[in-house]
Amino acid sequence: MKCLNRLLALFVLAALPVVASAEVSLLNVSYDVSRDFYKDFNPKFVAAWKARTGESIEIKQSHAGSTKQVRAVADGLAGDVVTMNQAADIQFLADKGFVAADWKGKFKDGAAPFTSTIVFIVRKGNPKQIRDWPDLVKSGIQVILPHPKNTGNGRYSYLAAYGWALHQPGATDKSAQGFVSAVLRNAPLFAAGGRDATTTFMQRRIGDVLLTFESEAELIAREFGHGEFEVVYPSESVLAEFPVAVVDKVVDKKGTRKQAQAYLEYLWSQEGQETAARNYIRPRDPAVLKAHAAQFPAIKTFTVDEVFGGWSKAIATHFKDGGILDQLYSLK
């Protein structure tokens, strides 16, 4: 009986609006693999904020697929801030009027406090001698990547391959598409997500090379052990910028703009950048990056803005139904 009471009480509590709690609370709506970082980062901000203003603050986290999360915010999930892995997702909220139209100018570095890049994960000893992009299209090589149309890492992997091919001497859009099409031809399957691609590669031992974020290599090591694979840095790759924004509609209603702004600004603080580096996300701060140079080898990168004219345009030309990606499948 007591058990049942507790259960009902909990249920009622869960149904109450978040505002009901006495102290200020922020909800950070984020993508799915950022949890470890925010788990480390949030207590640091809470302490710093308490020291600076004397106010107790609670940070709640929500994690799921990036695009799914911004749709939830647009449908009423009351996130004070959004911290995503592709700019298109925040642009979607800007278009809907949830986020300032000039959100990229609201913080430094185009409002992206950290970055990562797409790298190759190969089997121990690199038996197939995979060093750079051209090796991926050799016959008999199997490439594992998350779904290139529906997932953030998959889209970044696609753009990385496309951008590299475009930067080769004498390259045209046509030759780049031919190259990407050849990469896709070597993919035996499209994994459901980044994590699923990893399981397929590491545990089911399918494929010779896995395309994923540099930041996930460390997570793979935690799950499967450092000695099980090698990270290969290609000659050039895409710079994945992880953008953040304050959700105006929510903070204006809750009266939490000040805290939300401070929370996101703190991501650029020495402590924020340091925490990112420890979680294998590349910090923007050159000093912090240098201090962790062993962990972040130099790699030539290009941004989505430079090569593809921004995320919204990349989606419209490449990932929309009937876009270039869909045409490349049918070339197969």
Whichever of 52 and 96 has its CB closer to other proteins, that residue is 96
CB of 287 to other proteins, least distance (A): 29
Residue type, 87: A
Residues in the site for other proteins, rule: CB under 8 A? 4, 6-8, 10-11, 14-15, 17, 19, 27, 32-33, 35-36, 60-64, 67-69, 71-72, 74-78, 92, 147, 149-151, 188-196, 198-200, 203-206, 216, 219-220, 222-223, 315, 319-321, 326, 329-330
CB of 22 to other proteins, least distance (A): 16
- C-alpha 46/C-alpha 230 separation (Å) is 37
Burial track 271-310 (b if 16+ CB lie within 10 A, e otherwise): bbbbbbbbbbbbbbbeebbeebeeebeebebbbbbebbeb
Q: What are phi and psi of 181, to 5 degrees?
A: -60, -40
DSSP strand pairing (300-303 vs 236-242)? parallel
- C-alpha 220/C-alpha 124 separation (Å) is 13
Whichever of 204 and 293 has its CB closer to other proteins, that residue is 204
Whichever of 206 and 262 has its CB closer to other proteins, that residue is 206
3-state secondary structure of 161: helix
CB of 135 to other proteins, least distance (A): 23
DSSP code per residue over 199-243: HHHHTS---SEEEEEHHHHHHHHHHH-GGGEEEE--SEEEEEEE-
CB of 4 to other proteins, least distance (A): 7
Token output for 175 = 């030759």
Burial track 210-230 (b if 16+ CB lie within 10 A, e otherwise): bbbbbbbbbbbeeeeeeeebe
Rg from Cα positions in the chain: 21
C-alpha separations of 94 from 52, 62, 91, 217 in Å: 31, 20, 5, 32
190 conformational bin, left if phi > 0, alpha if psi -120 to 50, beta if neither: beta
